[in-house]
Amino acid sequence: DGRYIIVVLVFIQNSKGEFLIQKRSEIKNGKYATTGGHPKSGESSIQGIITEVKEEIGIDLRPEDIELYYGGRSDSERVFWDDYYAKIDVPDINKLQLQEEEVESVHWFSADEINELRKQDKFFMNHYEEFEVLLDWLENRELYEKD
């Protein structure tokens, strides 16, 4: 009672503007989502997302590759969360080492394709909500950088 969990996730975008999305294994609901999880005991939020990305999809992210774009807390759900963004190109996603218990496959999708997956109820809703926050952040960040 009174305990909270920490949830971390990352949206990885390539130079074409596509996002690296995973199809979760059937035991994890089989929907499309971004990479995320829970930091292990003693890990910081950023260490936790680096670990999750390595374990689930076999990519080595460095702290300087990642940018925190949103964080929050829900007392009703007893959760803290941190959402990260990384802009990197992955040469060949077909060669990634996927954690079979968690991830069935990975794909590059445009924002429109992700929205279509959501409309078909094929995208994990919690992650889609965070994706909408990301898109808003990216749009506003670009506007800010132009000034």
Residue-wise pLDDT tens digits, 10-50: 999 999 999 999 999 999 999 999 999 999 989 999 999 99
Q: What percent of the chain lies above the pLDDT cut of 70?
A: 95
Mean pLDDT calculated for residue range 98-110 = 97
In this prediction the pTM is: 0.92
CA angle 123, 52, 87 (to 5 degrees): 70
From CA 10, how far away is CA 95, in angstroms rounded? 20
Q: Report the chain's C-alpha Rg in angstroms.
A: 15
Look at residue 19 in the predicted model and tell me its pLDDT: 98
Spatial CA neighbour of 32 closest among 114, 91, 99 = 114
Mean pLDDT calculated for residue range 48-53 = 97
Q: Average pLDDT of the chain?
A: 94
From CA 96, how far away is CA 109, in angstroms rounded? 17
